Amino acid sequence: SMGSKHKCIDITYPDNAGCYRFSDGREEWRCLLNFKKVGETCVPNNNPTCAENNGGCDPTADCAESENNKITCTCTGQNESFFEGVFCGSSS
């Protein structure tokens, strides 16, 4: 689960998105897996691929595609996974 220090407090974000507060106080939202950003909304993405936007995974994550058009994100190193790897960050 996400510690309170990584919960967004300053920005609003759309449905089907996850928001992450970085240690420097910066906040960012990204669409959850199998959704894609259209304008300021997140809409279902029926054919996600790792070639496009790293599959919605964090830029540092490893993206894998499964046969049923599902994306799996694996955070690397000591990074903890948030929102199924849409964000990878330190838990501290």
Structure tokens at 48: 């996600």
Res. 69: pLDDT tops 90: no
Q: If we measure between CA atoms, which residue out of 92, 69, 84, 74 comes closest to residue 31?
A: 84
Domain locations in the chain as residue ranges: 4-89
Q: What is the pLDDT of residues 26-38, one digit of tens each?
A: 999 999 999 999 9
What tokens appear for 35 in the block? Answer: 């959704």
Q: Is the pLDDT of residue 51 over 70?
A: yes
- Tell me the pLDDT of the chain averaged across its residues: 92
Q: For the segment 13-28, what is each residue's pLDDT rounded down to a tens digit?
A: 999 999 999 989 999 9
Stretch 50-78: mean pLDDT, rounded? 94
Question: Which CATH number is 4-89's, of 3.40.309.10, 2.10.25.10, 3.30.200.20, 1.20.120.640?
Answer: 2.10.25.10
